[in-house]
Amino acid sequence: MALNVSLCPCDSGRPYFGCCGRWHAGALHLQAPDAQTLMRSRYSAFALDLTDYLRDTWYPGTRPVNIEPNPPGLKWLGLTVKAHQRQDGTHATVEFVARSRWQGKGERLHETSRFVLEDGSWFYVDGDIHEK
């Protein structure tokens, strides 16, 4: 898949290939160093429709059978990381807000996600949605 991305979708302000792009492909694939970096790379993968990466970084015990691509017209607008906490050597949480627009309506996803470190790789497990 050819990507024409300059700044990283995760709102780091860095170029994509020097930010989340390095985790999406190549030698560092699936080697995000911490849960926050993995969460940012997953947001970018959602924004870029990289469903294989999303599947590969989802913990096998909670991973859905199918990960659908974005519906036509969905636009991811930005990400704000509110908190990142490491509970112990293999568990962490990341609280974030992801913004999108679809069919003319703005959406805001506020979630606290759980991550686990297994065999040297971080995986998304699940999350709690914060209601408006």
Query: How far apart (Å, rounded) are the C-alpha atoms in residues 96 and 112?
Result: 6
**What CATH number has the domain spanning 16-129?**
3.10.450.50
Contact by Cβ (8 Å): 78, 53: no
Per-residue pLDDT tens digits for 66-115: 999 999 999 999 999 999 999 999 999 999 999 999 998 999 999 999 99
Give 5 or 2, the one with higher predicted confidence.
5
Query: How far apart (Å, rounded) are the C-alpha atoms in residues 83 and 73?
Result: 30
Residue extents of the structural domains in the chain: 16-129
Residue 58 has pLDDT above 70, yes or no: yes
Phi, psi angle pair for 26, to nearest 5°: 85, -160
